[in-house]
Chain A
Amino acid sequence: MKPFAPTRRTFLKAGTATAALIGLGPSVLRQAAAQDADLAPYKSAKIDWQQTSGETITVAVIPASYFENLISLAPQFKALTGIDVRFEKIPPAQIRQKSVIDLTSKTGTYATHAADPMYYSLYDANKWVEPLDSYLADKTLTDAGWFKFDDIIPAWRAADSVDGKLYGVPYDGEVTIQVYRKDLFDAKGLKPADDLETFVKNAAALNSPNDRIWGTALRGVAGAGQNMYIYPSIFREFGGEWFKGGKLTVNGPEAEAALAWYVDVMKKYAPTAAANWNWPDIADAFSQGTVASYIDAHSSASVINNPEKSKIIGKVGYARWPKGPTGKRVSSIWNWGFPINAAQSEKKKKATWLFIQWAASAETQARTAHRFAGPTKRSGVNRTSIWKDPDYVKLMNGFGDNFVEATMATLQGDTDVDWRPRVPQWPAIGDTMATAIQSALSGQATIKAALDDAQRRVEPMMRG
């Protein structure tokens, strides 16, 4: 703690507080004490939180419970730093475009935004965001011993870096894992799949459309963050390499085998509607008991465990991705991180960094997760230490069997930063691939034709 050294400001504050106390009595006293206790864990950091007091920053986030929890803590941040934060909620489908338009016009509207990790290459190529290493190293801005940057899940940190340089700090993340109905599996003596072949066999054994139960479902709707979120893992598990000899390659035998596997599973063992499904649709169908297993983000566990809607609570188990023919497991990983918009004044950049440090700190992460007062708890906290906190583990294991173990094992062992091609052209490549995958799934083109066409379209994108 800092020694008590009265300044004019604290003196005035104390004076006002005393005056207020005399007037308003014990309720204010309790509140003031509560606020002091609230901020104590932050004040133990050896930095001046108030250094940019009076600034106002705008932060773009998506409307999701993990950000809502953060927004509800904004008054604490204001009390700590004197910085006003205005949150703007933008649906995930538009946040990339909106932030790109803001960054390219250099208006500095969003001091920071919830960023897609695949976009950092693009941001870096245009110098739209600040490299963060200097902020981490600056002792006036960051107390390394307090912030403990290395405590943040390494896979997500790596995803928010380009060529070893950090551009965003992960706030909330996810990995894809296998989710299955324990009761249905047990009834047939099945075990969660260890390889893709068994995954198909399990799906086949449980697929019974006449009883309104389908074997599985994977994301089918076209989009860089939808079907192109699941397919790359399959592609990598089948031995695919995005950069063969330095050249971006999206077709070839491995790609064909991977896409054939995906199309086959979707056509034979998934509801027809799944061709247009994104993860919330899959989780909804699973929670209504119509899907026996799926592979998707671990964060969907909160949807399938929603006591108001779900019919299968207590019947869910989790496992890591099944291995591909190469014996490799490749999970799809994701995180919403915060970069610093470069088109701002130095003071605003500092204020933005203080916000990012606050949001990504262990204390705020805990306050928005297991220590959050509201009903929705986060499953994507960014810190290894919290994933080992017994309170948090107990809360998370309420989602079903093996949840924390599967998630942690996947985060540590099954991730691969280059599971998607991380280049500035990603938005175009992602969209092209998404269209190709859907063409193949809908039968508009054969698997080979769809992939070859994608390759033809991708090549000119990579030429400078």
Chain B
Amino acid sequence: MPHAAATPPAGDLGRVLAQRERRFAAALLAPAFVALLATTTFPLLFLIGTSTFRMDLAMPFADGFVGLENYRTLLADDRFWSSLLVSLIYTASTVVLQVALGLALALLVMDMKRGQGWFRVVAILPVVLSPAVVGMIWRTFMLAPEFGIVDYLAINAGLGSQNWLGDPTLAMVSVVIIHTWQWTPFAFMVLLASLASLPEDIYEAARLDRASAWQRFKRITLPLLRPAIVMVVIMRTMVALTAFAAIFTVTGGGPGTATEILNLYAYRKSFTELSIGYGSALAVALLVVTILISGVLFAMRRAK
């Protein structure tokens, strides 16, 4: 078809223009894309690559490619499993507490006639503090036995002085409480905003049908809040799984390994024990766990 090539029809011209536009768009996108690759994808691949090497700063002569050796060690490492368990307990308990307390607070504040704005400002304060600072405050002023405020209250309440950070179980409870204390306001603010946007007429209809307060909460409020709650759960789970600063400053994973979450174990392996290869394998394991859990949560969100 020689004449067709000589005078392209209008449709072809459109295609050429569209192709040009795509190229232009790609050129515009490229810098951001490259920057993203360089700062996120590349380090991630590098991490995965490092996890297949033995890299021990203490024994540089033994370094080299070991394939999946680090992962085999990991599966047989009981400290990996115990730190994973600690991570899961920590995440589950802090997220449940945050949502439950956040929702309760939001419902309470919704009905406040006055001082709601003031309450919101006060409630948001812990969120804006650095977790490391929060950790230091709790560790020194609040929880120190005989000297801290919480312990003073416990003594006066007749509970006696407790070794809040020195006892394995209490230490876990303490770090869960600290995280919950700091991040409940986040759940509270999100849920309060969603509550405020719920349509009033449904409640009015329910009241006309003589639905009790509990029925209204269970049948109307909860289902309508579900998207917001699921969103809070997903966001808080991902943060709790990778939490670090507060536990690092409060207990350093101790006593012993009682509060050593997986993240902290990976950090200690890499930067204290200088076993970079194995530390990377631990970090990859944490990544896999986080992806799996958030995958499940996202699936639940879509399933409705």
Contacts and interface: CB of A to CB of B under 8 A. Distances in A.
Interface of A: 97, 100, 104, 122, 125-126, 212, 220-224, 271-273, 275-276, 423-428, 431-432, 435-436, 438-445, 450, 457, 461, 464
Contacts of B148: 273
Interface stretch (B13-21, B32-40, B44-52, B249-257): B249-257
B256 A272 contact: no
28 contacts: A97-B272, A104-B57, A125-B58, A125-B59, A126-B57, A221-B252, A272-B163, A273-B144, A273-B145, A273-B147, A273-B166, A275-B163, A275-B165, A276-B139, A276-B144, A276-B165, A423-B58, A424-B59, A425-B59, A427-B272, A428-B58, A435-B253, A438-B255, A442-B254, A444-B255, A444-B258, A457-B79, A464-B59
Interface string B99-116: 000000000000000000
Contacts of A461: 58, 273, 275
Contacts of A442: 163, 166-168, 171, 254-256, 258
Q: Chain B: interface secondary structure?
A: loop
A275 B255 contact: yes
A104 to B, nearest CB: 6
A428 B166 contact: no
Contacts of A441: 166, 255
B194 interface: no
Contact of A100 (B144, B166, B171, B274): B274
B252 A427 contact: no
Contacts of B271: 97
B2 interface: no
Instruction: Name the 6 nearest CB pairs between A and B, nearest first.
Output: A439-B256, A442-B255, A428-B273, A275-B166, A444-B256, A272-B145
Which bucket holds chain B's interface residue count? 20 to 34
B161 interface: yes
Interface of B: 57-62, 79, 139, 144-148, 161, 163, 165-168, 171, 252-258, 268, 271-275
Contacts of B253: 222, 435
A445 B168 CA distance: 10
Contact of B168 (A104, A426, A443): A443
B257 A439 contact: yes
A438 B254 CA distance: 7
A445 B256 contact: yes
A126 B268 contact: no
Contacts of A221: 252, 254
